Chain A
Amino acid sequence: MLKVNVYITLKKEILDAQGLVIKKAIKQIGYENVKEVRFGKFIQMEIDDNGKSEDEIKKEIEYLSDKLLANPNIENYKYEIVRN
């Protein structure tokens, strides 16, 4: 069983209103040194690899991310595979 973590954030050129509000709140707490905050989503999946190669699994994760988990028009994603 593989554990897969997918991280999704808005593309750089897109205004991240939630990230900005969080940054403001951090400033209010008194941490002026936090310069940039991007808000995003974290999706954790457990995948049965069924003896598939790492490349095949990566292809599956990328297909799912492009089709469903992220919207390529507005979001970027990255992922990591954690082996138990």
Chain B
Amino acid sequence: MSGRQKPYFGILVFPGTNCETDCYHVLKNLLKVDCKYIWHKEKRDDDINAIIIPGGFSYGDYLRSGAVAKFSPIMSFVRDFAQNGGLVIGICNGFQILLEGNLLPGAMLRNDTLKFICKYVNLKVEDINNPFASGYRKDEIINMPIRHNEGNYYINNDGLKSLKKNNQILLRYCDENGIINENTNPNGSVENIAGICNKERNVFGLMPHPEACCEELLGSDNGLKMFKSMVSFIS
């Protein structure tokens, strides 16, 4: 890993990624933090000390979302980086890639509505003892957009028990009062799960798009604290 003290984010770009510019804008223009794009064919990068796998449709979502991207050359670097404790966040398709690559447990199914969903949802911050949500209050209700066709998170019973035992569930879909039930579940996810981290708490995947809600002008700035949390963790 890098010996840098200052945050320097690498934003991965696969063919079909389409949220990389939003992430770049948030880091560079809003938070004045160094960042760069990393093309998926690259084998490694020694400058960076955090990785963002942004949303989009890597490889056209062919076969399964994230199924092909997990074999890109950069992904073995991501695996080593994560194993050495480096921060990795996967947003939407980035989450799907982390699941397919076994950096996070579980898998994504098609939304149970069989519809592409594009709307703002309420989320409950279930855990703040991690580098990604430390800027929020525990049980805070936040508002973020989702836009996906395969966001129906699945994990078997043993896996779910383990997620709960280790406080790996960071975000769940709820209503504006924090109620979590079937009616506040947009896509059929097990227990309304919207975001989970690994046991070591340095790899995080979520379906909502924090990079798309970092300015009031865009309707919500609830995502900014997520980036700020990461920045302060590595500063």
Tell me the A residues contacting B by CB distance below 8 Å: 10, 13-15, 17-18, 21, 41, 68-69, 71, 73-74
Contact = CB atoms under 8 A, between A and B. Distances in A.
Interface of B: 63-64, 67-68, 71, 100, 106-107, 109-114, 154-156, 188
A68 to B, nearest CB: 7
Nearest to B64: A71
Question: Is chain B's binding surface mostly helix, strand, loop or mixed?
Answer: loop
B63 A73 contact: no
Given A15-B188, A74-B154, A69 B112 contact: no
Contact of A17 (B64, B100, B114): B114
A17 B110 contact: yes
A71 B112 contact: no
A19 B156 CA distance: 20
Contacts of B64: 71
Contacts of B188: 15, 17
B114 A71 contact: no
A17 B112 contact: yes
Contacts of A71: 64, 67, 100, 107
A14 B188 CA distance: 11
Contact of B106 (A68, A69, A73): A73
A7 B151 CA distance: 24
Given A13-B156, A74-B154, 4 more contacts: A14-B109, A41-B63, A71-B67, A71-B100
A69 B63 contact: yes
Contacts of A15: 109, 112, 188
Contacts of A10: 109
